Structure formats: structure tokens, C-alpha cells
Copies of this chain bind each other. A is one copy, B any other.
Amino acid sequence: MASSGSPSSPTAEGKLDVEFTVPAQVEVAGHLMAEFAQRHCSAGRRVVLVTSGGTKVPLESRTVRFLDNFSSGRRGSSSAEYFLDSGYAVIFLHRHRSQYPYSRCYAGVNLLDALLLQGGEGGSGQVVADTGALPDIAAVLRRYQAVKDAELLLPVEFNTLSEYLHLLKAAAQALNPIGSKAMFYLAAAVSDFYIPASEMPEHKIQSSNGPLQISMKMVPKMLSPLVKDWAPRAFVISFKLETNPSILLERARRALDTYRHQAVVANVLDTRRGFVVVVTPHTQVELALSEDEARQEVEIEEKIVANLTAAHTAFIED
């Protein structure tokens, strides 16, 4: 553990250890991530941790109800593909069942609508893909298989906020040894609020008790110990999503001032698929899809990743 002497991080890290139960899978995941980072760094590759999807915040300890964040995992999973295309090895820390690199192309498809019994009832009995329901399936499958065979993608799953926070810490500690070759691309939609285990009702909240009053505490910001203690030499990017465009850039700047990391990708809910601003301490770059690009289904993540991998190169050389 990175026990810290810095003034502001003990609070966040201390809260993590006290108020969020360590999930069972953290130790094994930590070892896998450390081994993955070391192996790819030795082979001359940079390694990016992509976080993706929303976190689940239980309202009861035997959980029936929970608070969740809107997030399909689209941005994280598509970005992971562009990082792979750019030569990165990718640790994909994602919400269970959120969109996944490559298979995201078919996220809305019912598996059984995408398969055919060859030759019908009297046929060979072989089950084949329906290329009408799965456009480009052979090409996508080939790319997916190549990434899998080269072991360039390490998937790690979370469901709850606690799992996410502890796995993020484990990932940071796993990536710290490769220094500036590590990038953190924190695209997950992490809850800002939670109910401490000590204040949580054990049983399902009864509706017969009348209206529900929920009081939630603010989630400690892990960017602080991540940047200061866990992986201080890494290249760190956070995301800022707002519904109100007028406060967006000010919030992004404030986050950079507070956490002293390298960049914030700022975006507004309604326009997030076509427009973002990459904010760094001294620059502010708008990335947008042209109408032509939108028609051709170019993804904004291609531009985000191109911008950030270039910035990462400069950061490493610096």
C-alpha cells in the first residue's frame, strides 16, 4: 500500500479503506493487471487503463434497490478499440454487461435472432451466423480474435461503486511500476454519492413506511490519491459530463486545478457523441465531427484517442 505523507490524500484513501468493503476479486485482479502491465511494457508497448460504464450504489445491505448512473459503456468500449489500433495494450475496467470492445457493434442483437439452422429442419444441424443480422461479422470477429490471441486486452469487471473504487486503486498500483508509459483514461460514470455501510438498512426498505428519505454522502475523489500517491508518474485523463453547457468548462478547469492531472475530456450529455473539449492546464482543444464524418459513422472517440495518444507521447518525452 502506498501509505501517504501528502496533506490531502489521506482523507480519500482513508475513507476508501474504512467505508467501502474490499471486494473478493481485487487481489487476483491486481496480480493479473500488474503482470499484464509489466509484460507489455517489456515488449515496448504503452498500457492504458480504460474505465467504462456506470457504478451501482446499493441502498440496502441485502440489496434490492440501488442508485445507478446512466452509461451504456459506449465511449469506453469504442475508445478501447482505438487505443488497441494505436498500439496500446488495454486494461478494460468495465461495468458487468456494459458495452464491450468489438461485440458492442451487436449490442442490441438477440443472439437467437442472429443465428440460423443451416439447411432448415432437415439440414446439417450446423448453426451459422446470419450475416444480415450481424453486418461485417467476419471482419469484426477477425479483429477481435487477433486482439485476443495477442493478449492485448485484459477485461476486469465491476458492478458496485465499492468494487470500482478498490479495483481502480489496484489498477493504479499495478501500473505505477511502468511510470509514464501508463495512461489512465477514466471514462466510467462513477457515482458522486453513496450510503456508508454503517448507515445502510439491512432489509428491503418497506414501502408501507411511507415516503422515502435518502441521505447520501459524497464519494471521496480517488483522482487525488491516484495522481499524488498511487501512480504519480502516469498520464491521467478524467471525464466531465454535464447536462448544462454553461458550467462545463469552468468545472473542467476546476478539476485540473484541484487534482493536478494532465487532461479533462469535457462533454455535454446531449451532444457527447459529436463534440468534446480536451482541456489541459495550458490548452483547450475542441474536437467535433463534421456532417460528412457523422454520415460516414466516424466516431468522436477516434479523434479523442488520437489527440491523447499524441499528448501522451509528448508527456513521455518531456
Contacts and interface: CB of A to CB of B under 8 A. Distances in A.
Contacts of A145: 112, 117
Contact of A128 (B56, B127, B144): B127
Identify which of A56, A102, A134, A141 gathers the most chain B CB atoms within 10 Å of its CB.
A141
A211 B216 contact: yes
Contacts of A215: 211-214
A138 B111 contact: no
B137 A115 contact: yes
A141 B203 CA distance: 40
A315 interface: no
A142 interface: yes
A125 interface: yes
Q: Which of A114, A129, A217 has the largest number of chain B CB atoms within 10 A?
A: A129
B111 A106 contact: yes
B64 A243 contact: yes
B69 A64 contact: yes
Interface string A61-96: 011111111100000000000000000000000000
- Main SS class of interface, A: mixed
A177 to B, nearest CB: 30
Contacts of A62: 243, 269-270
A112 B144 contact: yes
A13 to B, nearest CB: 19
B203 A210 contact: no
A141 B128 contact: no
A194 B140 CA distance: 42
Given A65-B67, A212-B193, A242 B137 contact: no
23 contacts: A59-B67, A62-B243, A65-B68, A66-B67, A66-B70, A67-B67, A68-B68, A97-B97, A117-B141, A117-B145, A121-B142, A125-B138, A126-B129, A127-B137, A193-B207, A203-B243, A204-B241, A204-B242, A204-B243, A207-B219, A213-B215, A213-B216, A214-B216
